Amino acid sequence: MKAETSLTMALSKKEGSSYFVLEAVGKDVSKTSLDEFLQKSLDQNGQPKVIVGRLKPEYQALIPAALRLAELELGKPYDSFFDLENDAYYCSELIHLSFQKANEGKAIFDTPPMTYLDPDTGEIFSIWEEYFDKLGVPVPEGEPGLNPGGMSTSPVLDIVFDYQDISDH
C-alpha cells in the first residue's frame, strides 16, 4: 500500500441497501456512510485515497463477530495516545482489537514496536514531540502498536482495489 494513501482503517458493513464503515477518527468511534467516508480524502483527480483490503479466506469467518464487537465501541473516544491498553481507539486499533476479540483473544494482526524516529537522524520527529508534549505524555517510542500502512502489508490481507487506479486510466 502506498504510504500516502494510508490515512485511516475502517470496517465496512452493509445495512439494508446502504454500506457504512465503522471507524475511529476525530473524536470517537463512529458509523459513517461509505459515500461520506470515500469523500473525506480526495486526491488531485477527485478520487478517494482509499485502498480496499480483504481478509484471506481462512479469516473471513471472523468478520461478522468483529463487526458486532466494533459496533459495541460506537461512541468510545478516539485514542490520541495510541495506547492499546486504554478504553479508547485509534483507527488501526479498532480493527486489530475487534478481530482479536472475535478470534477468542488471538491476534491476527501484528503489533510491532511503534517508532517516531527520523531514520536519517535517529531523533524523534519534532512533530511527534510536540504532539505528545501537548498531551502531557512521553512519546510511546517502542511501544506495541499498528498503523494503516503496516496493516496493509499484513499476510492476512489481500489488497483487492485501489481507488487511485481509476484516475490512472
- pLDDT band per the 50, 70, 90 thresholds, residue 83: very high
Distance CA 89, CA 83 (A): 8
Class of domain 3-110+148-167: alpha beta
pLDDT > 70: what percent of the chain? Answer: 91
Q: What is the mean pLDDT of the chain?
A: 89
pLDDT value at residue 18: 86
Distance CA 158, CA 155 (A): 8
Query: Whole-model pTM above 0.85?
Result: yes
| Residue spans in the chain of domains classed CATH 3.90.1720.10 | 3-110+148-167
